[in-house]
Structure 1
Amino acid sequence: MANFKKMAKEIIDYVGGLDNIKEMSHCMTRLRLGLKDELKVKKHELETIDGVMRVVVIGGQYQIVLGGIVDEVFEEASKIVGDNVNVNKEMIQENLDSDTQRKKGKFIENLISLLSGIVSPIIPAMLAAGFISALAKLTVLAGVSETNTTIQILTVAGDVLYGFFPIFIGWSAAKYFKANIAITIMVVGLLVYPNFTALFTNFESLKFLGVPVTNVYYGSSVLPAIFAAYLIAKCELILRKILPNALRSIFVPFLSALIVIPLLIVVIGPIGVWGGEVFANLFRSTYELSPILAGAIIGGVWQILIIFGMHIAILGLVSAPNIAMYGRDMIIMTHAPSLICQITAGLAVALKAKDKKIKKNALTLSLTSFFSGNVVEPVMYGINLKYKKPFIAVCIGGAVGGAITGAAGAGTSAAVAFSIYTFPVYLGAGFGGLMLGCIVGGLVTFILTYIMGINEKESV
């Protein structure tokens, strides 16, 4: 049985100790650490810890891939470092400002890291919503009427995340920027509050202190909530310095909300929605130009995006808003066959390898990834990336499968990985094409992996 307390202590020691940690968080498979000085990190020692699959660095954040034990290790690490496990924005800004060239060179990486850090805590809710939706659809397939009230309740429960997505983003962003969570949720909640949206119907021209308020749909937005949380954190910081102690408890939250609300609905909200739309439209435009091309690109690069943690930001900015706005995502879900490709590559290694230990590991990790709901990190880091050629085959097979899936117009009603447990949310138009994409992409990957083989002495 793994000693999670020992693992947590070793990880903290090898990243330079407690004093070198700025933030700590985790996603489904990774412990994420923001550090002050990367020169203090002993990366090789980190990767040799029993249970650590790989160490990925992006934007100064160390992502330690642990797979299914991440929760246990995170819990033990939290006890060691205390309760402050989220990014302190001020420290990050000071660190970046100390080296202008480094800031410029890593701007995109830091932006992705920021978005991933905010979206990651919402992933469990996205998974829960997806599985609830899948359960409802699976029950209907089993013969229960769609009009059954239990089915109706489960369906609504599965949709609630997407109906209030900005609020979830606001909660996570408030934790990220160290803003007051309750104030942030109150302010961001205004964007999706029915009485606020009704004002645009009740009044011919809606103004705040004479300034026109733009009628914008915020239900699927992400950036306005992030900007709001950031501004509230800044306001609170400034107001605490200005106001005397006796007035802070009342006037800091009051003035923070009073300042940010008009900025949010007049300026930040519309601009944020526009910015999010620009990002999302990059994917939508490619899909509209050619679903086959879009599917091939997304399916071919998705596993690379997972390595750098970029997939989380894209899910938050594109896939979830698509589902919130249209009830279905047909674009980002074209990565689904690439998940199957990771597993078939591992199975090909298990069949091809001569070394009994490699065969056993490849088979075990492939089955683990499959039965865990296509959480592919175990086989990806444990086998396919380690021996390089299988991962190349995965990217090729993923592109082929993604192209077929895109051509079929397949979609999903929940932002969850395609697996034996979640397939009901992928049912509908194009489902047959999705299955064909998974089969063909998986076979292409298997055949290429088997033909190319592996150097059994090779490792990363």
Structure 2
Amino acid sequence: MAQYEKQVKEILEAIGGKENIEKATHCVTRLRMSLKDESKVDSEKLESIDIVKGSFSTNGQFQVIIGQGTVDKVYKEMVAMTGIGEATKDDVKEASASKQNWLQRGVKMLADIFIPILPAIVTAGLLLGINNILTGEGIFFAESVVERYPQWAGIAEIINIIASAAFVFLPALIGWSAVKRFGGSELLGIVLGLFLVHPDLLNAWEYADASAEGDVPTWNLFGLQVEAIGYQGQVLPVLVSAWVLAKIDIYLRKRVPDSIQMLVVAPVALLITGFLAFIVIGPVTFTIANAITGGFIWLFSSLPAIGGLLYGAVYAPLVITGMHHAFLAVDLQLVGTGNGTFLWPILALSNIAQGSAALAIMFATRNENMKGLSLTSSVSAYLGVTEPALFGVNLRYKFPFICAIIGAATAGMFITLNGVLANSIGIGGIPGILSIIPDFWMSFFIGMIIAIVVPFALTFLYAKFVTKEEV
């Protein structure tokens, strides 16, 4: 008998049999399947299998958490046993797409665009954290490290240049990923993003002052006055322009002979998209983006307690649905303003809170397997990856999930009342403090203590003295 033959048979029985599987693949820790009918899944039976650490459904995919290393062997055994054939993640996504509504498809599209560029953004955030340590006042001395030791100033400047590049040229990263997602040539997407932040254009961060003084440069296009502004730190202008560019690119490649494609497709696609971007797309989406960020800024500045409480409460449920990816665009837009983001610090605290609730289960449970899962998943959440804690522990018992939300909402309200801002997006857990502007470190640290203590205490006390379920 193969190593996991028994468990695979049990998994198949619990999900409604092999005939209920349309496509199946796996990632580092999870089986990912597109099922014909998810109502046939017996979740209780599935999660009682010894190798299964949890299960959930999101964006039309049913996912079973197995664990790193083991999942690959289980998947191969499942393919051999069912004869369904190996599939890629894209195959499963396509099979799952038909089950999604327009909102889910929109969120999935944003996820497909932003997830590939996250490593660059998170790396930039970590490096900016190092720069914060070197240039922030009052961390080690009354003055900053570079003021106390001028010989470190050059190192800090180089680190800052390397770190800020991802944000300065953010439209190029988004252009590459978006055009690729929409089916066009990703190289053209990079060029699109770069000309939208060309140094000859008025910097977007200087637009407000230039507009107030009437000094915004313009082009005269046959009598039409077009503002010559760049879109540094902007998300919507490049997203919409990338969609237009990809559609033109695809249209031309289908119709232009191969022998002259290099001379026609790219130049025509970029010219048309460029003119549309500067004349129509950019101004319209720039206004919309500023209105969206303005709405968030108004809420968190006028009603900070409500804003922090609500976002802290809803972030973890958004992760379950996958809709949290939509807020990444808002975070990047806020970072692009140069003032910092008040949303991302709450995200980091929400992750910490879920890890704390999972850690409490380790002390409350008598189940040795659950003790191990709770410990490893809490460490993962503290380092910014919450799925093992969310789906493997907290949602399994439900009350730890609620306790974590209470802790995250309380911590979110506290840091928002204290005006905590991050100048970048980094690792969404305890290391996230490196991305916080140094002036707010103490407030964020207190927020972390709240996010650790409140969920842990509530979960442990509920497990020991309230619930009648076996934990």
The equivalent residue for 2:82 is none
1:443 CA displacement: 2.1
| 1:7-406 paired onto structure 2 within 5 Å | 16=21, 38-39=36-37, 50=51, 53-58=54-59, 60=60, 106-138=101-133, 143=145, 145=149, 147-197=152-202, 205-315=218-328, 317-370=329-382, 373-406=383-416
| Aligned counterparts of 2:249 and 2:103: Cα–Cα separation in 1 | 27
Q: Aligned pair in 2 of structure 1 residues 16, 260: CA closer, same or farther (>3 Å)?
A: farther
Q: Aligned pair in 2 of structure 1 residues 216, 320: CA closer, same or farther (>3 Å)?
A: same
Q: Is the 8 A contact 2:341 2:422 kept in 1?
A: yes
Q: Which moved more, 1:177-186 or 1:335-344?
A: 335-344
1:395 CA displacement: 0.7
1:31 CA displacement: 8.4
Kindly provide the CA deviation profile for residues 318-343 of structure 1, in whole angstroms up to 9, marking residues without a partner as x. 21221222242123422332222112
Q: Which moved more, 1:63-72 or 1:106-115?
A: 63-72
How large is the Cα RMSD of the aligned pairs? Answer: 4.1
The 3-state SS of whatever aligns with 1:213 is: strand
Q: Is the 8 A contact 2:184 2:245 kept in 1?
A: yes
Match of 2:462 among 435, 452, 455: 452
Q: Which amino acid aligns with 2:58?
A: V
Kindly provide the CA deviation profile for residues 146-190 of structure 1, in whole angstroms up to 9, marking residues without a partner as x. 752122111221111111111111110011011111222212321
* TM-score, length basis structure 2: 0.77
Q: Is the 8 A contact 1:298 1:332 kept in 2?
A: no
| Aligned counterparts of 2:70 and 2:277: Cα–Cα separation in 1 | 37
Q: Which moved more, 1:421-430 or 1:186-195?
A: 421-430
| Aligned counterparts of 1:324 and 1:397: Cα–Cα separation in 2 | 29
Q: Give % identity.
A: 24
| Aligned counterparts of 1:326 and 1:44: Cα–Cα separation in 2 | 49
Q: Unaligned 5+ residue runs, structure 2?
A: 80-84
1:123 CA displacement: 0.9
Kindly provide the CA deviation profile for residues 222-254 of structure 1, in whole angstroms up to 9, marking residues without a partner as x. 122122221122112322343334333321222
Q: Which amino acid aligns with 1:212?
A: Q
* TM-score, length basis structure 1: 0.78
| Aligned counterparts of 1:290 and 1:437: Cα–Cα separation in 2 | 18
1:392 CA displacement: 0.5
Q: Aligned pair in 2 of structure 1 residues 225, 53: CA closer, same or farther (>3 Å)?
A: farther
1:114 CA displacement: 1.1
Q: Does 1:411 align with 2:416?
A: no
| Aligned counterparts of 1:376 and 1:343: Cα–Cα separation in 2 | 7
Give the greater-gyration-radius structure (CA): 2
1:66 CA displacement: 7.2
Q: Which amino acid aligns with 1:54?
A: S
Q: Unaligned 5+ residue runs, structure 1?
A: 97-101
| Aligned counterparts of 1:68 and 1:123: Cα–Cα separation in 2 | 21
Match of 1:440 among 402, 425, 450: 450
1:133 CA displacement: 1.8
